[in-house]
Amino acid sequence: MGVYRIREYGEPILRQKCRRVASLGSREKRVLSQMATAMYKAQGVGLAAPQIGLDEQLIVVDGVGDLIKLANPLILLKDGESIMEEGCLSLPHTMVKVKRASRVIVEGWNENEERVRIEGEDLLARVLQHEIDHLMGILIIDYVFPGEKTLHSDNLSINKRGERNG
Which of 66, 71, 67, 68 lies closest to 56 in space, CA to CA?
A: 71
Confirm if 15 and 21 have CB atoms less than 8 A apart: no
Contact 8, 161 (CB under 8 A): no
C-alpha 75/C-alpha 91 separation (Å) is 24
Catalytic residue among 11, 85, 131, 148: 131
Q: 3-state SS string over 56-89?
A: ECEEEECCCCCCEEEEEEEEEEEECCEEEEEEEC
| Annotation marks residue 131 as catalytic | yes
Just list the catalytic residues.
131
